[in-house]
Amino acid sequence: MKAFVFPGQGAQFSGMGKDLYETSPLAKELFEKANDILGFRITDIMFEGTDEELRQTKVTQPAVFLHSVITALCMNDEFCPDMVAGHSLGEFSAMVASGALTFDDALKLVYARAMAMQKACEMQPSTMAAIIGLADETIENICAEVTAGGNIVVAANYNCPGQVVISGSLEGIKLACEKLTEAGAKRALPLSVGGAFHSPLMEPAKEELAAAIEATEFHTPKCPVYQNVDALPHTNPEEIKANLIAQLTAPVRWTQSVRNMIADGAETFTECGPGNVLTGLVRKIK
């Protein structure tokens, strides 16, 4: 069985999608449609923009989404998924790939999500850090200890065995990194992100996104979508919507998702989108 997976924020690079735009009429049409929907030429930033411009959440999220979805749609007959999954933002790409959302509706939701998250980040300075070489339970316990002391920190991304990203307030992340290093983490690396994604600090963004998702029509996907919040396959549109809303403040259970996809028969994983981060994670999970 074939699994197709879609990356999240952080996979962007200057020049992304330019080859597709220049060689595929379908890609060009979809990119131009995206420019119209967004009200600015995101293609100019994707193709020629600086890394700094691409790092803006309001640009990054639609840019990665567009590259991922258009890559999949341009594969024609080669794109025949038996199951799909996306990492964080990538879940919206998976929705289009599976037929649960139209291209137009998904892009509008991605942009609404990006703007809501940007606003939440500005309300309270926060960040994330990658923790390498510690057991999940140890990380969870230390995060809970720091949070109990008044600084929110949670496990946000279970990327693969031995690699978990934590998310929280600036002081919380600093304290947690110190404690996790003392506990034996090989590395505790602060990430250059604008906020504490997949943590309770995204609650204001979650409320905004919920309204947009509830107002959008979802369809029954043509194959199961393994969703971040519970790592399980879903085909019920109402369940899919609820999980997409919950995703903003819940951890991305990527390790568990990949293991469940393999248990359900996935033999090959194809990554659609910029970079090959997920391909590397799948290799470590297998």
Catalytic residue selected from 67, 198, 199, 234? 198
* Helices assigned H by DSSP within 149-275: 170-182, 203-214, 237-246, 254-263
Between the two ends of the chain, the Cα-to-Cα distance in Å is 15
* Helices assigned H by DSSP within 215-276: 237-246, 254-263
Paired strand residues for 126: 169
Is the distance from CB of 111 to CB of 58 less than 8 angstroms?
A: yes
Residue 281 corresponds to which tokens in the numbers above?
């994670």
Give the pairing type, strands 187-190 and 126-132: antiparallel
Instruction: State how far the Cα of 74 lies from the Cα of 22, in Å rounded to an integer.
Output: 13
Known active-site residue 167: no
Instruction: State how far the Cα of 165 lies from the Cα of 189, in Å rounded to an integer.
Output: 9
Paired strand residues for 129: 166, 190
| 212 phi/psi in degrees, rounded to 5 | -70, -40
CA dihedral 55, 58, 61, 67 (to 10 degrees): -90
* Local structure of 30: helix, strand or coil: helix
Known active-site residue 67: no
- The catalytic site residues sit at 88, 198
